[in-house]
């Protein structure tokens, strides 16, 4: 009786609200939205959820933090700093850590969430890249994602500097050096940003307003666009039986997907809190207040900026007899800082933004794609992705050179020479190895699709012939191995080819010339017709790997 | 006076003035510089026993008269503090020809080390083992805070902010200081072993040396307020942990969630 009454009241209330905001239409369309399921699709969710954790924990921190570089004497409860002259920013961060109930836990939640936020972004980007999820119509969303990644780095770096401790202050010093290395305008820019000579008295308040207002606002706006475009384009899915370019197979938002995503939010929050409750992060009480003269051994930025620091550590001051810093025309040209500190990261970021169009141009593929690639089926792209990661990791490793040297008992100089070499040869080697692995996996897929699984059962026929019995795959499993389309090198246009055309043809050949032709229905038919007894296929009939790029694959040489 | 004035232009006048000036400066220097710490009274027996130990264990590299060879430096004037540090931390005798001596299990008893110290101190004046009052840590928070500040400005660039150690060039390193006794830290500052500079008593007073050692003791023994320290190595180990534990755990959960559906 009472429940009926409550139902009726709820209905009236819901109707009242719906008449005024029209929510039912939105709910109806959105609740039926289908999302496909795969663990790698949840990496983006990790980014979103850690961002929510960052907003919540960051708000707490602003209640007690004072963004000021005014000097004060520390009188809090950490004994080893009592009586020292520190900035208010540093003193209030210590206050949060030692004198606010739960303050240190929230600080550690905020910092661990920040590390995970950027790590999840990188993992998410890697997933998007190797599965080709950036292809038409999602190129612009890839760009939005890249902007988000850069904003995340900016958010991380501005936040890292706020406690005004010795570690982050030295990081800021490097940034000021990189800004000063920009030819002609660098020193003016550095004075503009720091309000005079480094460190000045304005940089912490300025970073604070960037960190709590501008960057989060931009992040929120970009996340809105990112997710809006995701809903509009629909989610991509891995290929499989019944999954086509024109449908989405998965679960509706309500009730399944919303429940899963909501649950996953709490899992992410839980993991972050668990880390924050058990493991120290950024113990600023150890680092001490910032002062431009001291520095600690093993001073590094948070992991996502390591690559810039590492590039700076790898850069030699002299290239043979030529100094990399010199002055002409009355200006100092600090190429030793400019190249690793700004040019290398700049090129990496530009390459990241432009990649969807580069690939589109040299593959000539302008169709819409809603099915993901299996990474092995695009060996060149996967190879490029791994090469880029290796490039990044080599630089990041260079930033840890002093720690690696002491912990593995090697000479820091030798390590620098090795990493300088790897800076150039590491990515090509990674590319080549990855590509060969992808091609090998494709060959294996092809063998499996045509001849089935090796059963390990050897049979002797009446004629004395031995063969191993192969068990055919079931059709659903086989579909995954044969569904992908063949790739074709973009040919040179008829008539006069411009230099650009020639370049494109060359790059296109680079992309596609090493390929394993996918199994065609005819081949499958043939394999089944003669393969009734599951004969072992010898090595001579592996499909063509060649530069010609005929889409038909090779015939079987039986 | 007249006679002196008459000889003012003598060809040797300049030389005489120079000699007198040198005498004044040298005399003032010897009066004003802090007297080098000298070994506490050691008996001739100690020195004799130390000499025997020296000849048996050290002379191979440092020479029969401790005058130094191609393989090892002279020990004349290094003082007993140096012997106590090098032998008392196990750095000497050297186990192999390396970029730098490792600390390792100590090879001699305290008495033997003192005897060798007495012998080396008898060869020429040098810094002595610090008095007993400076061989202990203090727990005065004000002095620990002072020690923290001094350590940060003078030592952290090589030894890391909490004394976790750091790398130097060509396979050398600044060692971890978290488990080192007050006496050995004091002696290291006084004698500047291996790549380390000397911080003499005019530079950092004996009390300040004790403050620094006490801060290191505090940093090494104080329970970490934030939980596990990951070696006190800063953002690198934190980043590694974020990936190896955090992202791995989250991907694991994602795989679990994804697996339930299909």
pLDDT at position A147 over 70: yes
Is B245 at the interface with chain A, CB within 8 A?
A: yes
B253 carries a ligand binding annotation: no
For the domain made up of B132-221, the CATH class stated in words is: mainly alpha
Helix-then-strand count for chain A, H and E: 21, 10
Residue A326 β-bridge partners: A333
Hey, what domains does chain A have and what are their CATH numbers? 38-237+259-292+305-372 (1.20.810.10), 434-541 (no CATH)
pLDDT at residue A543 greater than cutoff 50: no
pLDDT exceeds cutoff 80 at B260: no
Q: Confirm or reject contact between A149 and chain B (CB < 8 A).
A: no
- The SS3 assignment for B167 reads strand
Confidence of residue B43 (pLDDT cuts 50, 70, 90): confident
ipTM score here?
0.85
* Side-chain half-sphere CA neighbours of A323 within 13 A: 7
Kindly give the interhelix angle for A139-161 and A215-233, rounded to the nearest 10 degrees: 160
pLDDT value at B1 more than 70: no
Instruction: Domain ranges for chain B, please list them.
Output: 44-123, 132-221
pLDDT at A289 over 90: yes
* Within this chain, domains B44-123 and B132-221 share the same CATH topology: yes
Which residue, B173, B174, B72, B62, is CA-closest to B123? B62
pLDDT digits (tens, 9 = 90+) for B115-144: 999 999 988 888 888 888 888 898 898 999
Q: Which residue has the higher pLDDT, A493 or B125?
A: B125
Strands A453-460 and A34-35: unpaired
Check pLDDT > 50 for residue A276.
yes
Instruction: For residue B58, say whether it is annotated as part of any ligand binding site.
Output: yes
Q: Which residues of A73-99 are buried (b: 16+ CB within 10 A; e: fewer)?
A: ebebebbbbbebebbbbbbbbbbbbee
> Are B148 and A81 an interchain contact pair (Cβ–Cβ within 8 Å)?
yes
Phi, psi of A366 (to 5 degrees): -115, 15
Please choose, from the candidates A120, A9, A476, A372, the residue with its C-alpha nearest in 3D space to the C-alpha of residue B251: A120
B257–A contact, CB cutoff 8 A: yes
Min distance A460 CA to chain B CA atoms (Å): 41
When comparing pLDDT for A519 and B240, which is higher? B240
The two beta strands, B166-167 and B173-174, are antiparallel
Q: Which two tokens stand for residue B198?
A: 């000397």
Distance (Å, whole) CA A410 – CA A332: 35
State whether B145 and A82 contact (CB < 8 Å): yes
Q: Which residue of A has its CA nearest to B160?
A: A297
Closest chain B residue to the Cα of A85, Cα to Cα: B149
Closest residue to B247, CB basis, from A80, A120, A279: A120
Nearest CA in chain A to B260: A37
What pLDDT does B154 receive?
A: 93
Which among A298, A307, A418, A480 is the top mutation candidate for probing chain B, defined by the most B β-carbons within 10 Å of its own β-carbon?
A298
Angle, CA A163 vertex, CA A157 and CA A166 arms, to 5°: 90
Q: From the list B141, B238, B250, which residue is nearest A115 (CB)? A: B238
Query: Average pLDDT, whole number, for chain A?
Result: 87
Confidence of residue A553 (pLDDT cuts 50, 70, 90): very low
Q: What is the CATH number of domain B44-123?
A: 1.10.760.10
Q: Is B102 annotated as a binding residue?
A: no
| Tokens at B189, concatenated | 């500052």
Does the structure show a pLDDT above 90 at A169? yes
CB atoms within 10 A of CB B5: 8
pLDDT band at A531 (very low <50, low <70, confident <90, very high): low
Q: What percent of chain A has pLDDT over 90?
A: 56
pLDDT score recorded for residue B145: 93
Nearest CB to A403; choose among B229, B233, B257: B233
Contacts of B42 (CB under 8 A, 6+ apart): B114, B118, B121, B122
Q: Across the interface, do A80 and B169 touch by the CB < 8 Å criterion?
A: no
Chain-centroid distance of CA B227 in Å reads: 31
With 90 as the cut, is the pLDDT of residue A16 above it?
no
pTM, entire model? 0.85
What pLDDT score does A3 carry?
64
- Both tokens of residue A552? 């038909």
Which residue in A38, A108, A405 is closest to B258 by CB distance? A38
Of the spans A293-297, A326-330, A546-550, which averages the highest pLDDT?
A293-297
User: How far apart (Å, rounded) are the C-alpha atoms in residues A334 and A178?
Assistant: 9
Lowest mean pLDDT among A87-91, A387-391, A543-547: A543-547
Q: Give the pLDDT score at A92.
A: 96
CA distances from residue B227 to A105, A270, A277, B113, B134 in whole angstroms, order as listed: 10, 17, 7, 40, 32
CA distance A185 to chain B (A): 32
Residue of B nearest to A82 (CA): B145
Residue with tokens 């000889």: B7
C-alpha span between A352 and A87 (Å, rounded): 39
Could you tell me if B242 lies within 8 Å of chain A, comparing CB atoms?
A: yes
Asked whether residue B159 is marked as a ligand-binding residue, the answer is yes
Q: What is the pLDDT of residue A84?
A: 93
Task: Quote the CA–CA distance of B49 and B46 in Å, as a whole number.
Answer: 5
Tokens at A258, concatenated: 């919303």
CB A63, CB A143: distance < 8 Å? no
Query: Which pLDDT value is given to residue A2?
Result: 56
Q: Tell me the per-residue pLDDT of B198-248, one tens digit each, with 9 for 90 and over.
A: 998 889 999 999 999 999 999 888 888 888 988 888 899 999 999 999 999
Return all residues near A264 (Cβ < 8 A) that are at least 6 apart. A42, A45, A49, B253, B254, B257
Smallest Cβ distance to B239: which of A42, A115, A293? Answer: A115
Q: Is B217 annotated as a binding residue?
A: no
The average pLDDT across A488-507 equals: 78
Per-residue model confidence (pLDDT) at position A251: 80
What residues 148-187 of chain B have any CB closer than 8 A to a CB of chain A?
148-149, 152-153, 156-162, 164-171, 173-174
**Chain B residues with CB inside 8 Å of A82's CB?**
141-142, 145
CB contact (8 A) between residue B161 and residue A296: yes
Let me know: does A120 contact A45? Beta carbons within 8 Å.
no
A-chain residue closest to B152, CA distance: A294
């Amino acid at each position: 009786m009472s429940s009926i009454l409550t139902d009726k009241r709820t209905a009236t209330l819901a109707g009242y609200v719906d008449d005024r905001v029209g929510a039912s239409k939105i709910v109806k369309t959105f609740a039926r939205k289908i999302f496909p399921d795969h663990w790698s699709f949840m990496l983006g969710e990790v980014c979103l959820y850690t961002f929510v954790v960052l907003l919540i924990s960051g708000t707490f921190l602003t209640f007690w933090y004072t963004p000021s570089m005014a000097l004060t004497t520390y009188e809090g409860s950490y004994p080893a700093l009592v009586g020292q002259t520190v900035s208010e920013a540093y003193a209030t961060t210590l206050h949060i850590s030692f004198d606010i109930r739960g303050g240190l836990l929230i600080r550690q939640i905020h910092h661990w969430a920040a590390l995970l936020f950027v790590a999840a972004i990188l993992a998410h980007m890697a997933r998007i890249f190797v599965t080709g999820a950036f292809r038409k119509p999602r190129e612009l969303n890839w760009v939005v994602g890249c902007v988000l990644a850069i904003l995340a780095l900016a958010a991380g770096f501005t936040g890292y500097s706020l406690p005004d401790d010795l570690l982050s202050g030295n990081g800021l010093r490097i940034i000021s050096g990189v800004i000063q290395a920009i030819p002609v305008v660098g020193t003016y820019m550095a004075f503009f940003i720091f309000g005079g000579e480094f460190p000045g008295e304005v940089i912490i308040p300025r970073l604070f307003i960037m960190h709590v207002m501008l960057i989060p606002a931009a992040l929120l706006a970009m996340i809105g666009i990112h997710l809006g475009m995701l809903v509009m384009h629909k989610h991509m899915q891995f290929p499989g039986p019944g999954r086509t370019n024109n449908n989405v197979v998965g679960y509706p938002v309500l009730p399944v997907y919303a429940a899963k995503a909501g649950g996953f939010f709490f899992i992410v929050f839980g993991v972050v809190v668990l880390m924050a409750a058990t493991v120290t992060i950024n113990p600023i009480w150890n680092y001490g207040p910032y002062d431009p003269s001291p520095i600690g051994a093993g001073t590094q930025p948070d992991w996502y900026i390591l690559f810039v620091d590492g590039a700076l550590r790898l850069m030699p001051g002299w290239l043979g007899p030529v100094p990399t810093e010199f002055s002409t025309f009355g200006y100092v040209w600090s190429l030793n800082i400019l190249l690793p500190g700004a040019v290398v990261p700049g090129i990496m970021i530009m390459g990241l933004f432009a990649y969807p169009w580069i690939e589109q141009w040299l593959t000539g593929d302008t169709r819409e794609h809603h099915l993901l690639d299996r990474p092995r089926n695009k060996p060149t792209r996967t190879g490029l992705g791994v090469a880029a990661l290796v490039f990044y990791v080599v630089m990041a490793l260079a930033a840890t050179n002093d720690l690696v040297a002491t912990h593995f008992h090697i000479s820091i100089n030798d390590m620098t020479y090795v990493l300088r070499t790897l800076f150039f040869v590491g990515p090509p080697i990674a590319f080549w190895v990855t590509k060969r692995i992808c091609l090998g996996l494709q060959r294996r897929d092809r063998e499996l699709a045509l001849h089935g699984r090796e059963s390990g059962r050897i049979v002797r026929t009446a004629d004395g012939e031995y063969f191993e019995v192969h068990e055919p795959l079931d059709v659903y499993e086989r579909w995954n191995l044969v569904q992908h389309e063949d790739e074709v090198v973009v040919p040179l246009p008829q008539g006069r080819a411009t230099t650009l055309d020639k370049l494109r043809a060359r790059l296109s050949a680079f992309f596609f010339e090493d390929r394993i032709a996918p199994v065609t229905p005819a081949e499958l038919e043939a394999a089944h017709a003669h393969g009734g007894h599951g004969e072992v296929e010898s090595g001579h009939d592996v499909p063509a790997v060649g530069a010609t790029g005929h889409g038909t694959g090779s015939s079987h040489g039986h | 006076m007249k006679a002196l004035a008459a000889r003012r232009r003598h060809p040797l006048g300049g030389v005489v003035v120079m000699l007198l000036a040198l005498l004044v400066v040298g005399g003032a220097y010897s009066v004003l510089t802090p007297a080098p710490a000298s070994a506490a009274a050691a008996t001739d027996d100690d020195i004799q026993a130390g000499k025997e130990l020296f000849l048996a264990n050290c002379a191979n590299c440092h020479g029969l008269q401790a005058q130094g060879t191609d393989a090892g430096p002279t020990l004349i004037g290094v003082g007993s503090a140096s012997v106590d540090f090098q032998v008392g931390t196990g750095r000497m005798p050297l186990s192999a020809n390396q970029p730098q001596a490792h600390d390792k299990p100590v090879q001699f008893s305290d008495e033997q080390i003192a005897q060798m110290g007495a012998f080396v101190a008898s060869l020429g004046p040098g810094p002595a083992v610090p008095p007993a009052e400076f061989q202990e840590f203090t727990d005065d928070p004000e002095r620990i805070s002072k020690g923290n500040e001094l350590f940060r400005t003078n030592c952290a660039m090589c030894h890391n902010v909490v004394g976790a150690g750091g790398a130097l060039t060509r396979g050398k390193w600044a060692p971890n200081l978290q488990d080192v006794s007050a006496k050995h830290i004091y002696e290291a500052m006084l004698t500047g072993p291996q790549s380390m500079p000397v911080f003499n008593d005019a530079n950092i007073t004996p009390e300040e040396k004790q403050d620094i050692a006490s801060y290191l003791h505090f940093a090494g023994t104080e329970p970490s307020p934030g939980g596990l320290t990951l070696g006190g190595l800063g953002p690198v180990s934190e980043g590694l942990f974020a990936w190896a534990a955090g992202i791995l755990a989250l991907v694991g959960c994602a795989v679990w969630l994804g697996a339930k559906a299909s």
